[in-house]
Amino acid sequence: MAAYPEPGDLIEIFRPAYQHWALYLGDGYVINVTPIDEGPPAMFASAKSVFSRKAQVRMQLLKEVVGNDRYRINNKHDRTYPPLPVEEIIRRAQRFIGQKVSYDLLGSNCEHFVTLLRYGEPVSDQANKAITTIGFVTAAAGALSLLGILHSRSRERQY
């Protein structure tokens, strides 16, 4: 039997190329961030928010946010960061509904938002993986560039 979300639970929604995050409020509703210029359908909201600088905090039905995608309850940081009391999580979430917030993939994304509500700490494994990947790609590009310079210098000496 599938588990049902409880108020304050983090909901991980599996989009085709990334995960979108929401926080369960109760009675079938979640809070999540969506781009300001986007309306329905919700399944495209997070993809467009990657390119947006501002997002809207919305309270929506979980089934509308999920659409045809899969989701799961994922309170993955509970061992590292103790969750705030449920009443506090919900109170904090309700203060954000309808507000415009800044959005950026690496520093202030949908996962940062919901973990801030649940734990009081903005945490995003997706952002950490992206930062690591960017660092690796940058280092690799630098190494290849250096090899190219060294190779061209060694060819110059031959002539």
Residue 146, in any domain of the structure: yes
For residue 151, give the amino acid letter. H
Q: pLDDT value at position 48?
A: 47
Q: Of the residues 77, 110, 112, 151, which is catalytic?
A: 110
Which has the closest alpha carbon to 125: 74, 66, 62? 74
Over residues 65-91, the mean pLDDT reads 97
**Average pLDDT, integer, range 147-157:** 54
Q: What's the rounded Cα separation, in Å, for the pair 103 and 50?
A: 8
- At 40, the amino acid letter reads P
What integer is the mean pLDDT of 97-113? 86
Mean pLDDT across the chain: 79
Half-sphere exposure (Cβ direction) of 118: Cα atoms closer than 13 Å: 34
Burial class of 31 by CB neighbour count within 10 A (0 to 12, 13 to 18, 19+): buried
Annotation marks residue 110 as catalytic = yes
57 and 112 together in one domain: yes
Clarify whether residues 95 and 149 are in a common domain.
Answer: no
- Structural domain containing residue 29: 10-123
Q: What is the mean pLDDT of residues 64-78?
A: 97
* pLDDT higher than 90, residue 111: yes
Does the pTM of the predicted model rise above 0.75?
no
User: Which is the catalytic residue, given 20, 77, 112, 151?
Assistant: 20
Q: Reply yes or no on whether the pLDDT at 18 is more than 50.
A: yes
Is 25 domain-assigned?
A: yes
Considering its fold, how many domains does the chain have in total?
A: 2
Residue 128 pLDDT > 90: no
Contacts of 50 (CB under 8 A, 6+ apart): 18, 105
20 is catalytic: yes
Do the domain assignments include residue 5?
no
Residue 38: what pLDDT? 47
Question: 108 versus 141: which is more confidently predicted?
Answer: 108
Tell me: do 62 and 136 sit in the same domain: no
- Residue 4: inside a domain: no
Segment 91-98 shows an average pLDDT of 96
